[in-house]
Amino acid sequence: MSNKWLKSLQTDTAQDGFELAIKLARMGVKYTQPSDEVRNRLRADYAENADSLTAASQVVAINFQTVAAANGYWR
């Protein structure tokens, strides 16, 4: 993927930061599995799996910690 979509971790608000954390998680999956077809087929496997959803939430939380640190949200 050569499309440069991430310009900065700086965001205007914590809400924007959380949305960026979600985008980071989604893009991580897209980079790992670039096939739309495969990702769509696999979605049914994890969409109703509590462990998979918890793991996805953990990735978003870790990404949000990174964004929050970059923005000094907890100063």
Q: Is residue 31 part of a domain?
A: yes
pLDDT in tens, 6-51: 999 999 999 999 999 999 999 999 999 999 999 999 999 999 999 9
Q: Are the C-beta atoms of residues 39 and 33 closer than 8 Å to each other?
A: yes
Enter the pTM of the model.
0.88
For residue 24, what are the domain limits? 14-71
Q: Is residue 3 part of a domain?
A: no
Strand segments (E) across 1-75: none
Q: In the numeric block, which tokens belong to residue 4?
A: 């440069």
Give the count of domains, the chain: 1
* Rg of the Cα atoms in the chain: 14
Reply yes or no on whether the pLDDT at 75 is more than 90.
Answer: no
Q: Is residue 9 part of a domain?
A: no
Q: Is residue 33 part of a domain?
A: yes
Reply yes or no on whether the pLDDT at 1 is more than 60.
Answer: no
Q: Is residue 45 part of a domain?
A: yes
Q: Are the C-beta atoms of residues 1 and 29 closer than 8 Å to each other?
A: no
Per-residue confidence at 2, pLDDT binned at 50, 70, 90? low
Helix (H, G, I), strand (E, B), or coil: what is residue 43?
helix
Rounded Cα distance, 65 and 75, in Å: 13
